[in-house]
Amino acid sequence: MSKEFEEVKSDVAEGKEPSTTVRELLRWFGARRRRTGVVKRIRNELDDAGIVTTPDFTKVWIDAEISFSKIPEAAAPAAVPAEDQGQEEPQFSPQDASFLISMLKAANCGVIAVNPQDTVEKAITLMLAHDFSQLAVMSNEHTLKGAISWKTIGKRLSHNNELTEVKDAIEPAVAIEDTEPLFKATRLIIDHEFVFVRSSADKKVTGIVTATDLSEQFQFLSEPFLLIGQIENQIRVLLHGKFEVEALKEICNDADEARKDSIQSVADLTFGEYLRLIQKPENWEKLGLSIDRSVFCAEMDQVREIRNDVMHFDPDGIDEGQYDQLRRFSRLMDELDALAQ
């Protein structure tokens, strides 16, 4: 257990409410992302210490600040009946898979705002200075009056309307709470080009998510899938026609006879089975590669671990080092394919 978490437990026991970021909390547990096993471990430690995070560390942006406090007595876990003790607890809830709008950086970066009585020139200057297409129109940090944008300014001018104050070019704005699932919010963002995000705790406007932010997020989420799909195809090409069906079945789980019987080609294997196949020296020889087997398999095993993160839809995605690993291994596969021709 990290000394930082020990200090948190000590502070909470004294009635204090220390704080940190989600990223820092993960670091205390030797992790960088909120993978299922990591989340379970942290939750267990928090429960054992009688501590809760506010907000829930799984439901916010990875760099959001969270505080630690004692679990309210009314929310403390009930005693487990004797007849139920020893039974395994549920490991997954559908809510665990929710990717919330609050997990996006843009939803947490605040907003540049003008009030309705500000001049249009001020709004234009702010949009130019920050390279924004729109601004929030607010009377205070809780009261969202609407938005002003290049589009609304252009529309008013095209109708020969005089523009003096921001209120002359205001348009209604859509605001959603930070607990809204991202995929439900997607349609609103597409339809309106942007939405403002409110904190469900205090109703403050915490950020604005635009269609551009959305497209960047989906690229961030989809690129690893595309890279992994490309690598899997490259591996199938490398292995195709090199092995008898019996050799492929041999590396499958002996306990799953039905699946072993269904294996007919390399395409029927899992990524882990590709790795087990070529880890055997006698199988590696059949590939005819003049490279080191142990190094190649170690690189491929790293890809396998990244693939597991991606396929389990880790809300924090993968880091740049993992991207580099996928790109590097894909380039290696391309080079091996070129040498074989």
pTM of the full predicted structure?
A: 0.66
Please tell me whether residues 91 and 168 are part of one structural domain: no
State residue 314's pLDDT score.
60
Mean pLDDT value of segment 108-115? 94
Please tell me whether residues 262 and 302 are part of one structural domain: yes
Parent domain of 56: 3-77+85-97
Q: Give the residue with greater pLDDT, 161 vs 104.
A: 104
State residue 84's pLDDT score.
45
State residue 313's pLDDT score.
58
CATH of the domain at 179: 3.10.580.10
Mean pLDDT value of segment 72-78? 59
- pLDDT tier at 82 (50, 70, 90 boundaries)? very low
Flag the least confident range among 97-106, 125-134, 182-191, 200-209.
97-106
pLDDT tops 60 at residue 91 = no
Mean pLDDT value of segment 192-214? 92
- pLDDT tier at 103 (50, 70, 90 boundaries)? confident
CA distance 236 to 266: 6
* Token pair in block for residue 253: 């789980």
- pLDDT tier at 315 (50, 70, 90 boundaries)? low
CA distance 281 to 283: 5
Mean pLDDT value of segment 65-79? 75
178 CB-near residues (< 8 Å, 6+ apart): 60, 100, 101, 102, 107, 197, 198, 199, 200, 206
- pLDDT tier at 310 (50, 70, 90 boundaries)? confident
Please tell me whether residues 230 and 193 are part of one structural domain: no
CA distance 64 to 155: 38
Q: Give the residue with greater pLDDT, 218 vs 236.
A: 236
Please tell me whether residues 229 and 146 are part of one structural domain: no
Q: Which residues of 146-166 are buried (b: 16+ CB within 10 A; e: fewer)?
A: bbbbeebbeebeeeeeebebb
State residue 10's pLDDT score.
94
Please tell me whether residues 199 and 231 are part of one structural domain: no
**The domain boundary residue, chosen from 188, 213, 238:** 213
**The domain boundary residue, chosen from 189, 213, 237:** 213
CA distance 68 to 80: 25
Please tell me whether residues 60 and 113 are part of one structural domain: no
Taking phi over 0 as left and psi of -120 to 50 as alpha, with beta for the rest, 146 belongs to left
Greatest mean pLDDT among 66-75, 170-179, 220-229 = 170-179
Residue type, 290: S
The dihedral through the CA atoms of 235, 241, 244, 246 has a sign that is positive
CA distance 12 to 46: 11
Cα three-residue angle 26-27-33, rounded to 5 degrees: 45
Cα three-residue angle 155-160-163, rounded to 5 degrees: 75
pLDDT tops 80 at residue 151 = yes
- pLDDT tier at 197 (50, 70, 90 boundaries)? very high
pLDDT tops 50 at residue 198 = yes
7 CB-near residues (< 8 Å, 6+ apart): 18
Q: Is 147 helix (H, G, I), strand (E, B) or coil?
A: strand
What value does the mean pLDDT of the chain take?
A: 87
pLDDT tops 50 at residue 111 = yes
CA distance 158 to 217: 34
Cα three-residue angle 117-114-169, rounded to 5 degrees: 65
Could you list the beta-strand ranges (E) of the chain. Answer: 19-21, 51-54, 65-70, 113-114, 134-138, 144-149, 175-177, 194-198, 205-210
**The domain boundary residue, chosen from 153, 187, 213:** 213
Please tell me whether residues 201 and 229 are part of one structural domain: no
How many domains does the structure of the chain reveal? 3
Please tell me whether residues 37 and 122 are part of one structural domain: no
CA distance 169 to 177: 25
Mean pLDDT value of segment 244-257? 88
Please tell me whether residues 198 and 224 are part of one structural domain: no
Residue type, 80: V
Cα three-residue angle 323-286-238, rounded to 5 degrees: 35
Residue 145, phi then psi, degrees to nearest 5: -90, -25
Please tell me whether residues 258 and 307 are part of one structural domain: yes
Please tell me whether residues 72 and 188 are part of one structural domain: no
Please tell me whether residues 222 and 182 are part of one structural domain: no
pLDDT tops 90 at residue 253 = no
> 144-149 and 134-138: which strand pairing?
antiparallel
State residue 182's pLDDT score.
85
